[in-house]
Amino acid sequence: MDTRASLGSSDSTTSTDLDAGLSALEKQFITLAAELDREPADLGERVGEYLTAEDEAVLARLDPIERAIMETPAYTVRGLSVKARHLAYVLSEYWEAPIDQIEWQGRAIRLLVEAICNIADAPLHIREPRFGK
């Protein structure tokens, strides 16, 4: 997690502490999402196919964390970036093609998420696009 926002503060309670809960949820989310991404095949491609019992168990543990991220209010740009990165994960198909080939709604979501992440100086970790594949 990016801690630069709190490094220059002399106040013992920094603005990033307001979203400490969201940051903790994001860490849990990233850990579990990495378990699903352990294979090169995209989960979205496997959903219609056979999901292993292990995948199903990870998805069951991931569900309450995702719901908590969506339901927890953001109070800082950092917290908003947690929510934006989660949205990018959920709607990852909007990063699978060049932006000029995405429908209007997808472009709007993609550009908004990327702007939030840029302002928060929080990298958006999306798999490499599969343009032309």
Q: Which of 92, 80, 118 is nearest to 37 (CA)?
A: 92
At residue 128, the pLDDT reads 53
pLDDT more than 70, % of the chain: 73
Asked whether the predicted pLDDT for residue 69 surpasses 80, the reply is yes
Range name among 7-16, 33-42, 110-119 with the lowest pLDDT average: 7-16
CA-CA-CA-CA torsion sign (8, 9, 15, 18): positive
Asked whether the predicted pLDDT for residue 33 surpasses 60, the reply is yes
Give the residue ranges of DSSP H helices in 4-129. 4-7, 20-36, 43-46, 53-71, 77-90, 104-119
Asked whether the predicted pLDDT for residue 94 surpasses 60, the reply is yes
What is the C-alpha to C-alpha distance for residues 85 and 125, in angstroms, rounded to an integer? 8
CA 53 to chain centre: 24
What is the C-alpha to C-alpha distance for residues 122 and 133, in angstroms, rounded to an integer? 28
What is the C-alpha to C-alpha distance for residues 29 and 66, in angstroms, rounded to an integer? 7
pTM of the model: 0.74
Residue 102 and residue 122 in contact, taking contact as beta carbons nearer than 8 Å? no
Asked whether the predicted pLDDT for residue 44 surpasses 80, the reply is no
Name the residue with higher pLDDT: 3 or 23.
Answer: 23
What is the C-alpha to C-alpha distance for residues 125 and 55, in angstroms, rounded to an integer? 21
